Amino acid sequence: MSLRPWRDIVRRKSRQIMVGNVPVGGDAPVTVQTMTNTPTSDAKATIDQIRRCEDAGVDIIRVSCPDVESTAALKQIVRAVRVPIVADIHFHYKRALEAADAGAACLRINPGNIGSADRVQEVINAAKANGCSMRIGVNAGSLERDLLEKYGEPCPEALVESAMDHIKILQDHDFHEFKVAVKASDQFLAVAAYQQLAEMVDCPLHLGITEAGGFVSGTVKSAIGIGSLLWFGIGDTIRVSLSAEPEDEVRVGFEILKALGIRNRGVRVVSCPSCARQGFDVIRTVQKLEERLQHIRTPMSLSVLGCVVNGPGEARETDIGITGGGNGTHMVYLSGVTDHHVQDADMVDHIVKLVEAKAAEIDAAEAAQQIAAE
């Protein structure tokens, strides 16, 4: 039993597949995905956007391949970026063949939607020949007509049946390197569908609340839906779908994982909502710190509280803490212990320097441990 068992999450056992060089499922870390929104045929714009997502920490990137110009550009895109590329294919099986040959690490395709058994076999052969995995992507907004007629509306049973139909096609062709999503914009529907599917299959599950909305509303819906499933132990890779920039989706995805203690990257900020007791402008300070600390990848914690009511208690639990005091003078905590004071004018710059120094210290210690282990 762990020291804090109320934080424990027992993860569903799934088999592991590879998306390029990134493992998904099994005991691999839960990965964070996003999707580009530039025209894929514009290789430069797409590469630039992917690099911004890489800076934000993305593990896997999906690009849409609706036409031959897109798959032609894919080869250049794959060579220019560090993360594996998923080619998003709908209906046109030739785009899947082209994408596999161009170096896509994974094909997002529903085998039941691409035509005859011969076409399905061609796509599977191309995937096997090029080492591609696949993602079956069921969506409540595009369910098959026969399932809508059978169930009357999108429901968990309909999404799961659609997924199982597509899974059977791949398994009948002896293809097992796949993951599955059963997404809906209704988080209740999506959560129920994923829970049902998780009981029926051992493949990795790709989580998402599709068309979740704008940055604020979509983040809330995604945190509830994706977060609930992860808390249940369900999910091997996630994509937060927002009407926002892809790099923002990545940041929200990592924040969901950090909040659950599943995966840590960068600075976890603990901050108060502020009130009349605050000794400094907490809201603006946190905004500045979050912006200036985006480059930190080392997992660590920072508390920013405006007064001494909860400030000292929170600071004891974080790597670095700042608690508001009187007359523009504030207390700085290092490793949970009071250390020194800082003035208003210098506070943000000072905290940034402390965080950067702490990150360097942690990185150096980890590097020394690795050398010693070798």
- Please indicate if the annotation marks 307 as binding a ligand: yes
Q: Is residue 154 helix, strand or coil?
A: coil
CA dist., res. 132 & res. 123, Å (int): 10
Q: Check if the beta carbon of residue 60 is closer than 8 Å to that of residue 84.
A: yes
- Please indicate if the annotation marks 106 as binding a ligand: no
Can you spell out the DSSP letters for 283-352? HHHHHHHHHHTTT--S-EEEEEESSTTTHHHHHTTSSEEEE--STTEEEEEETTEEEEEEEGGGHHHHHH
Q: Is residue 134 helix, strand or coil?
A: strand
Going by C-alpha positions, the residue among 206, 213, 218, 227 that lies closest to residue 59 is: 206
Going by C-alpha positions, the residue among 191, 258, 266 that lies closest to residue 228 is: 191
| Amino acid in position 233 | G
List of long-range contacts for 341-344, beta carbons under 8 Å, 24+ apart: 344/280
- Please indicate if the annotation marks 203 as binding a ligand: no
For 253, the enclosing helix (H) or strand (E) is helix 246-259
Annotated binding site for [4Fe-4S] cluster: 272, 275, 307, 314
Annotated binding site: 272, 275, 307, 314
